[in-house]
Amino acid sequence: MAHYLHWILFLPLVAAAFSTLFLRRQGAIAAWFSTATAFTIAGLALKVLLTGGDVTWHIELAKFGDISLGFGYLLDANARLMLFVVSFVAAWIHLFSVGYMQDDEARGRFFAGLSIFMFSILGIVVADNLLMTFIFWELVGFSSYMLIAHYFDKDYAAAASRKAFITNRVGDLGFILGIAMCLSLYGTLNFSELAQLKPVSGFPVILGALLMCGFLGKSAQFPLHVWLTDAMAGPTPVSALIHAATMVAAGVYFMARVHFMLAADVLNLMAISGAGMAALAGLCALAQTDIKKSLAYSTLAHLGIMGCALGLGRPDLAVLHMAMHAFFKATLFLGAGSVIHGCHHEQDMLKMGGLLKKMPLTAATFIAATLSNCAVPFFAGWYSKDAIIEAAYEHNFAIFAFLAIAALATCLYSGRMIRLVFLGEANSEAAAHAHESPWTLTLPIVVLGLVYSIAGGFLAHSLIPASALGVVAKPLEEMAFHLNAPATIVGLLALLLGFGGALKFYGLTRGKDALQVISPRTYHLLEHRWMDGLYRWYIDSIQQRAAEFIAFLDLLLINGVAVRWIAGGVPAVLGYFTGRSLHRGQTRGYALWIVLGTLFLAWFLIAR
């Protein structure tokens, strides 16, 4: 089996290197080449999923002192599912990109970036130790940086790429410290060895908290969530693949993998902050007019739900929701991409409207995925989200309440999106002349959307043997529809109030946001980015000023006073004995030093 994994992992790296070196100007070839590798990988991943069976394989890369740093695979049920989800979604997004990026001059670079991203994310999936996870973790950050900066001549894209990379690195700082602590305490970084340890007093809280930092950064959890909405500056397929379906899910996957190392306090924190973020981000999505940014907040909300599931001690549910979310959120983003493409690069939802008739295929899939997003019973999102709300109800009422708000908010912003984009009348020239997208764009949406968002749950049973699904088999089996279960009641109420209400409410005004018209204050409260403001203030008023001050001190004290004084003083004293010859010229002065040194050396050698 390990040889399959070699192919899966290194094929994209080869594709990326080949495209970078030879296909920079042959964008069309690079696009199809990259897409072909992506589908090959998806096929291999499906093969691995269906074959089943765990894989362990390890080699040593280097030895620093007595620390052995290695590279290896640990393929368990979790990893097989993730491998399939990532490669399958990615393959279709590659195909979508072929059409979407058709007119882009830098297609070669774009597809090389996608391939590098594939290499990185697949590395995280199969990694068998913390260090290897970290390596690919960093590479994911890099590929995200490059792809967000695709339109680098725009200032906002340049700024967004930097923000994403640096925010991720803030999280990675904690991750590194966690790795070092793990090595220090247990002498190994290998997942299977760590899992067998079972220390008497449990794993320390601080270790779990440090490892969680990496998750906070990569999965855009509070307070490191600020980069994700800006990351929408990248091309839409990138938003779909990286910033909705896979990269942000990598954090959830990693937490599920090291779940046994997280102490109870860490889990509680994750549950509360995840649920809180889910509620808040869902409401913030209401105050966005850019369709991609609104979806980005929706992603934040779902990541919060996944974080909450992890915190509730149900990593299986988190992984299940991640898989379902990957399908419907990728569909939503690709649908948004198709809408943007159809409306001649208009992203403002207030300028859309009435697209249901003009782009029927896109609309149908988008609405299907939206219903999945809202957790309508028997749609993919329902299977996992409902179970998480159920778990929260058993665990803690506050978390349950937050999740209920989140469910309501989800229905609200979903209804708003459908109302503004697809219903009503066209609100701009661009929307009036919209057209359905070509097949390279619609086929991926149809496959991902209709097949997987709607029937994800059913199909998972019939398409894929339960043994292959492994980790999610249990929650899937447990799933049942009880009308009197609190989660179901909450879900249905949210649907009725939220979705229906939003459809009605956002029909009140035309070309304007109803909430903004009726209550500008509330709108502003939700739109304003409080944490961004806080960080901006820290960077400008504290960090940069401290740096300037230290640079000033360095110039004044070290370079100025200490050095000049000594440098002036010593030659002055020497000059007293040497007839001030040192003052005549710098080069000559130096030559004198050398002569003195040589004489001193000669004396020493002869005298011995």
Partner 1 sequence: MDTFPATLLQVAITAPVLIGLILIAGRSLPRSFASGFAFTGFALPALIAPWLLVLWINDATSPLQFRTDGPWGFGFALNGLGAPLLAMTSLIGLAAGIKALTQDVEARNTYLGLILFMLGGTLGVFATDHLIGFYFFHEFALIPTFILTLFWGGEGRRTAAMQMAIYLTAGAMASLAGILIALDAANLSFANATFVNVADSLGTAKNIPAATGALVLFGLGTLASLFPFHSWAAPGYSAAPTPVSMLHAGALKKFGIYGIILLGLSSLNISQGTLGSWFLWLAIGNVFIVGLICLTQRDLKQLLSWSSVAHMGPIFLGIWICGASGKAAGLDAAVFLMVAHGLSCAALFLLANAVRQRAGTYRLDELGGLASRAPVLAAFFIAATMASIGLPGFGNFWGEIGVFLALRAQPLWIQAIVASTVIISAIYALRAVAATFFGPTSAPLTARLETAPFGDINWIERIAASILLGASLTIGFMPSLITKSTNPVSTGVANFSQRTTTAPAAKPAAPAQSLPSAR
Q: Are 235 and 150 in contact (CB under 8 A)?
A: yes
Q: Measured between alpha carbons, how far is 337 from 232 in angstroms, rounded to an integer? A: 11
> Which tokens sit at 417?
């999106």
Residue closer to partner 1, measured from CB, 184 or 201: 184
In the complex, minimum distance from the CB of residue 81 to partner 1, in angstroms, rounded to a whole number: 25
Does 16 bind partner 1 (CB under 8 A)? Our answer is: no
Does 556 bind partner 1 (CB under 8 A)? Our answer is: no
Does 459 bind partner 1 (CB under 8 A)? Our answer is: no
Q: Measured between alpha carbons, how far is 449 from 440 in angstroms, rounded to an integer? A: 14
Does 581 bind partner 1 (CB under 8 A)? Our answer is: no
Does 600 bind partner 1 (CB under 8 A)? Our answer is: yes
In the complex, minimum distance from the CB of residue 21 to partner 1, in angstroms, rounded to a whole number: 10
Q: Measured between alpha carbons, how far is 471 from 467 in angstroms, rounded to an integer? A: 9
Does 563 bind partner 1 (CB under 8 A)? Our answer is: yes
Report 144-163 residues binding partner 1 (CB under 8 A): 145-146, 149, 152-155, 157-159, 161-162
Q: Are 83 and 125 in contact (CB under 8 A)?
A: yes
CA 359 to the chain's CA centroid: 30
In the complex, minimum distance from the CB of residue 578 to partner 1, in angstroms, rounded to a whole number: 15
Report 48-87 residues binding partner 1 (CB under 8 A): 60-67, 69
Neighbours of 166 (CB within 10 A): 14
List the x/- string, 90-109, binding to partner 1 by CB under 8 A: ----------------x--x
Among 165, 191, 253, 400, binds partner 1 (CB under 8 A): 165
Q: Tokens 């309501």 — which residue?
A: 408
Output the CA–CA distances (angstroms, integers) from residue 394 to 70, 312, 595, in the order listed: 42, 10, 84
Report 520-549 residues binding partner 1 (CB under 8 A): 543-544, 546-548
Residue closer to partner 1, measured from CB, 61 or 517: 61
Name residues whose C-beta falls within 8 Å of residue 262's C-beta, 6 or more positions apart in sequence: 203, 208, 211, 212, 255, 270
Report 17-46 residues binding partner 1 (CB under 8 A): 20
Residue closer to partner 1, measured from CB, 171 or 470: 171
Report 169-188 residues binding partner 1 (CB under 8 A): 169-170, 172-173, 176-177, 179-181, 183-184
Residue closer to partner 1, measured from CB, 2 or 558: 558
Residue closer to partner 1, measured from CB, 424 or 575: 575
DSSP 424-457: S---SHHHHT--PPPHHHHHHHHIIIIIIIIHHH
> Which tokens sit at 327?
């399908």
Does 554 bind partner 1 (CB under 8 A)? Our answer is: yes
Q: Are 134 and 176 in contact (CB under 8 A)?
A: yes
In the complex, minimum distance from the CB of residue 493 to partner 1, in angstroms, rounded to a whole number: 44
By CB under 8 A, the count of residues binding partner 1 is 71
> Which tokens sit at 341?
């493409």
Give the range of 1-9, 225-233, 253-261, 590-598 binding partner 1 by CB under 8 A.
Answer: 590-598
Does 584 bind partner 1 (CB under 8 A)? Our answer is: no
DSSP 100-166: HTTT-TTHHHHHHHHHHHHHHHHHHHHB-BHHHHHHHHHHHHHHHHHHHGGGTTSHHHHHHHHHHHH
List the x/- string, 185-214, binding to partner 1 by CB under 8 A: ---------------------x--------
Give the range of 41-49, 84-92, 191-199, 555-563 binding partner 1 by CB under 8 A.
Answer: 555-563
